[in-house]
Amino acid sequence: GSDRTPVCECCCQVASHLDTPTISADVNTQADDGATALYEAAKMGHQEVVQMLLSQKADANKPGKTGMLPLHIAAQRGSDTYLCLFSRIVSMLIPVTSKARVRRTGISPLHLAAERNRDDVLEMLIEAGFDVNAQLSEERMRLYEDRRSTALYFAIINNNTEAARMLLAAGADPNLDMFRPLMVASRMGCIQIVKLLVEHGADINAAIPTHPTTFPAVYMFSMKYLPLFNICRWAGPIIDVLLDYVGHVTLCSRLMEHLDSYSGWSAIKEKAGNHRTFPTW
């Protein structure tokens, strides 16, 4: 009574025949959960088994029960000790994985690499031409409360500046997610990422979809982190907009310092000094 599944048995048989030219087992045999020997070997980090299976024409495009392919699994695996091992497995799987088949899974290995902070894998996938603007399927988006959809969002929610930089440099659109990555970065106070996003065309006037006002959400978040005002000369415009939503206010010394940092903002200081009343709605 062995407890090993047929897939595990297949892996063991492959491992025992690494020096032989052929393998008697069907390398594409699937277990009850849909997993193949290649899928299991990629998941467990068995590099030599992956290599042998691929040499015997194992199909890298057969999904497991979650709908993901061996490349997906390898892209999200790896601890500090085994990062290089899984990176090598990813490099072997990339050339034999169909991008069209990846699209049908509703999730890109880019999402998983970004989610797990696997910058090395992210770089390989980008260089291999995987779509940096691929979005999660509706079904997979529902697994996340914030309805995230892009690899860029995963990178930013992890405060991973390097991953965000790679994705943006490769053409990632910062305005695809329902909740814009710029809002997330601003709320978290990730100044370097905010700067990157703005430089790559992030919409600073985007509103929160669930918020009843059109007041730009990023301005509200930025008030908590005043250094954000220095990015792309935000201070004046942001304060100017904020003043439209308040009555008479006295600006604190820090805001005054920001306003004094650029010429042409004296009118904003005067605007703050004028006695105004709230509009009646």
Q: At what angle do helices 181-188 and 191-199 cross, to 10 degrees?
A: 150
pLDDT recorded at residue 133: 99
pLDDT recorded at residue 188: 81
Q: CATH 1.25.40.20 spans which residues of the chain?
A: 106-223
Rounded CA-CA distance 59/62 in Å is 6
pLDDT recorded at residue 270: 75
Q: What is the DSSP letter of 36?
A: B
pLDDT recorded at residue 281: 45
pLDDT recorded at residue 267: 77
SS3 276: coil
Q: What is the DSSP letter of 225?
A: -
HSE on the CB side for 87, CA within 13 Å? 14
281 residues of the chain, pLDDT tens digit each? 444 455 555 555 445 444 445 554 688 988 888 899 999 999 999 999 999 999 999 999 999 989 999 999 999 986 665 678 899 999 999 999 999 999 999 999 999 999 999 999 999 999 999 999 999 999 999 999 989 999 999 999 999 999 999 999 999 999 999 989 988 888 887 878 988 998 899 887 776 666 555 555 555 555 555 555 555 455 566 566 556 655 566 666 766 776 776 667 777 777 766 655 544 44
pLDDT recorded at residue 16: 47
Q: What does the DSSP assignment read for 60-119? A: TT---TTS--HHHHHHH---TTTHHHHHHHHHHHGGGS-HHHHHHTT--HHHHHHHTT-H
pLDDT recorded at residue 72: 98
Phi-psi region of 117 (alpha: psi -120 to 50; beta: other; left: phi over 0): left
pLDDT recorded at residue 197: 92
CA 2 to chain centre: 41
pLDDT recorded at residue 232: 47
Comparing CA positions, the residue from 88, 114, 206 lying closest to residue 167 is 114
Fold for 106-223, please state it.
1.25.40
Cβ within 8 Å of residue 139, ≥6 positions away: 106
